[in-house]
Amino acid sequence: MRKLRILTVLFTLLIACTSVVWADVGRGDRGSEVQYVQRMLVTQGYLVDKADGVFGNNTEYAVRIFQKQKNLPITGKVDSKTLSAIKENNKHFEVSQPSQAASQQSRDVSQQSRNVRSKVEVSRFGDRGRTVSDLQVRLASSGFSPGSVDGIFGQGTADALKRFQQANGLTPTGEADQKTMNLLAKERGIPTEYKKAISMNASAYSADDPGNSAYTARGNLLKRGYVSVDPDVIPLGTAVYVEGYGYAVADDIGGAIVGNRIDLAMDSHGEAINYGRQTVMVYILN
């Protein structure tokens, strides 16, 4: 009986230790747990890398982007909440096994689609899969949030894409053609060409803030990638780059936003509160 109690205690400790390791995977960790997380992040388009079982810089960055998109604490570590969210989001990418006839028909349709779209690769409204999730991650990293990174090309992705295209002198079609993807693939930092640079006092806000509207002054759904300005300083519709925030469009106004003040739209109230107030350089783009 005593041996049985000892074995039970040891087994319980083993399970507890295993769950602790699994619930907190971060930089420098290695093993099958890391590889499992990496595979899901690769599938969802957050990690453009190999699932090698080594939690390095790229994996940490992918986790941070995922946490930001899902309004989780941005730690860069995979705790139990982050793991659950990753697994839940992965359901969007799971494909059920079709019948043999349906599978053949799907292959035929897919081949026809490739024949039609092989010359010009375009992602458009209604598309799904890793190509779309990669597009969403690139938009978010460039400061043009599509909302959730779920691999589904919906209205949020189309709107973000239009804002990105407008800010970069492209026709705002809301479709990701090769020219748009080439621009998104570039490392985007402080622009080398701009009309003017202004030092401004920046704050942040969101549609979730008490008393705020869900729409900008120009009628767009309020989300990251739009900023509120004094139109006498920065005309509405102007593309800008905000230091520490990214590329955006001046799309909103506010009673307290006068002179060299700028209010940066965030995707949640928590993000807006965490930003606080800062002095930033704002680049007025061509």
32: domain CATH number?
Answer: 1.10.101.10
Asked whether residue 179 falls in the same domain as residue 201, the answer is: no
**Phi/psi zone of residue 82: left (φ > 0), alpha (ψ -120 to 50 degrees), beta?**
alpha
Measured in Å, how far apart are the chain's first and last C-alpha atoms? 80
Task: Please indicate whether residue 98 or residue 161 has the higher confidence score (pLDDT).
Answer: 161
Asked whether residue 12 falls in the same domain as residue 41, the answer is: yes
**Dist CA 256 CA 46 (whole Å):** 37
Q: Express each pLDDT in 89-114 by its tens digit.
A: 888 876 544 444 444 444 444 444 33
Q: Which two tokens stand for residue 211?
A: 């008393």
Looking at residue 120, what is its pLDDT?
40
Residue 216's SS3 state is coil
Among 42, 66, 90, the domain-final residue is: 90
Range of the domain at 253: 196-284
Task: Please indicate whether residue 2 or residue 247 has the higher confidence score (pLDDT).
Answer: 247
Asked whether residue 274 is domain-assigned, the answer is yes
Report whether pLDDT(165) > 60: yes
Q: Which two tokens stand for residue 237?
A: 């519709």
Asked whether residue 168 is domain-assigned, the answer is yes
Asked whether residue 85 falls in the same domain as residue 135, the answer is: no
Q: Express each pLDDT in 10-37 by its tens digit.
A: 555 554 444 444 458 888 888 888 889 9
Asked whether residue 211 falls in the same domain as residue 174, the answer is: no
Asked whether residue 203 falls in the same domain as residue 181, the answer is: no
Asked whether residue 29 is domain-assigned, the answer is yes
**Dist CA 249 CA 163 (whole Å):** 7
Q: Which two tokens stand for residue 31?
A: 């093993």
Asked whether residue 276 is domain-assigned, the answer is yes
Among 185, 215, 239, the domain-final residue is: 185
Name the β-bridge partners of 78: 25
Asked whether residue 111 is domain-assigned, the answer is no
- Helix ranges, 147-209 (H): 155-167, 178-185
Asked whether residue 76 falls in the same domain as residue 11, the answer is: yes
Report whether pLDDT(240) > 70: yes
Q: What's the rounded mean pLDDT across residues 248-267? A: 92
Taking the CB of residue 76, how many other CB atoms lie within 10 A of it?
A: 19
Asked whether residue 201 falls in the same domain as residue 159, the answer is: no
Q: What's the rounded mean pLDDT across residues 145-156? A: 80
| Phi, psi angle pair for 80, to nearest 5° | -65, -40
Looking at residue 286, what is its pLDDT?
66
| Phi, psi angle pair for 142, to nearest 5° | -90, 0
**Dist CA 67 CA 225 (whole Å):** 18
Q: Considering the chain, what percentage of its residues have pLDDT values greater than 90?
A: 19
Model pTM above 0.75: no
Question: 241 with 285: CB under 8 angstroms?
Answer: yes
**Dist CA 243 CA 226 (whole Å):** 14
Q: Alpha carbon of 52 to those of 146, 249, 264: distances in Å?
A: 29, 39, 38
Q: Which residues have CB under 8 Å from 162's CB, separation 6+?
A: 172, 173, 174
Looking at residue 188, what is its pLDDT?
62
Looking at residue 49, what is its pLDDT?
66
**Dist CA 42 CA 168 (whole Å):** 28
Asked whether residue 265 falls in the same domain as residue 201, the answer is: yes
Residue 142 corresponds to which amino acid?
A: S
Question: 30 with 53: CB under 8 angstroms?
Answer: yes
State the Rg of the chain over Cα: 22
Asked whether residue 103 is domain-assigned, the answer is no
Task: Please indicate whether residue 269 or residue 11 has the higher confidence score (pLDDT).
Answer: 269
Looking at residue 106, what is its pLDDT?
45
Give the mean pLDDT of the chain: 79
User: What is the domain count for the chain?
Assistant: 3
Identify the CATH number of the domain in which residue 268 sits: 2.40.40.10
